[in-house]
Amino acid sequence: MVSHVMTKAERMSMHSAARDLHVEFRGIFGEETIEELVLDSYAELASKATVAAWLVLGAERFARQRLQALAHVQAAARGQVPAVLFLCVHNAGRSQMALGWFACLAGDRAVAWSGGSEPVAGIDAGVVAAMAEVGIDISREFSKPWTDEFVLAADVVITMGCGDACPLLPGRHYEDWELDDPGGKTLEEIRPIRDEIRDRVTNLIEKLTGS
């Protein structure tokens, strides 16, 4: 595993991303806060990356998700929609399928994020193919760690095989979903896991939204 050192061109791109995010989150977060989070997101992903080409884009997307989670916490007192965090080991299979189903089925009634205790270079190709079969494209997702922003923003934390590595905070509702790990399995073997996750996510949304 290679940890990448940010190049001058990448640092300039990160500054540009921070400016764009500041426009997006104007009035919520200051520019310095956003730039610090962007650089930290790059460092988090770079520490696990095997290919550097996607790091700038990945860091911007990761930072945006972290800012959304922070904004969710700030808006919670104003009746913000429920939030869920899906966690597994690599954030390359189970939690990505759960997030894909959740985004598809919940719409704007709830929000969700995903993360892993040991993120890897990319999403499992079989998992991407299995979700594509049901019309859900997760090919642009990426494996990432969970951070405090996501845990603090979540009303419900769903764990899938990450055991003691999963974060525990008071005031959060935790559920552990015992699911086979799709890593290394064939498409035929992944389909039942995908469908079980769909059923569990459907039930979760019903509990969260009452519909």
Enzyme catalytic residues: 88, 162, 166
Instruction: State the DSSP string of 127-168.
Output: HHHHHHHTT---TT----B--HHHHHH-SEEEEES-GGGS--
Q: What is the rounded distance in angstroms from the CA atom of residue 112 to the CA atom of residue 65?
A: 10
Spatial strand order of the sheet with 173-176 comes to 111-116, 83-88, 156-160, 173-176
Number of neighbours of residue 30 by Cβ within 10 angstroms: 12
* Residues 57 and 42: beta-carbon distance below 8 Å: no
Write the CA distances from 38 to 85, 90, 107, 151, integer angstroms: 21, 22, 27, 18
Helix (H) or strand (E) holding 67: helix 55-75
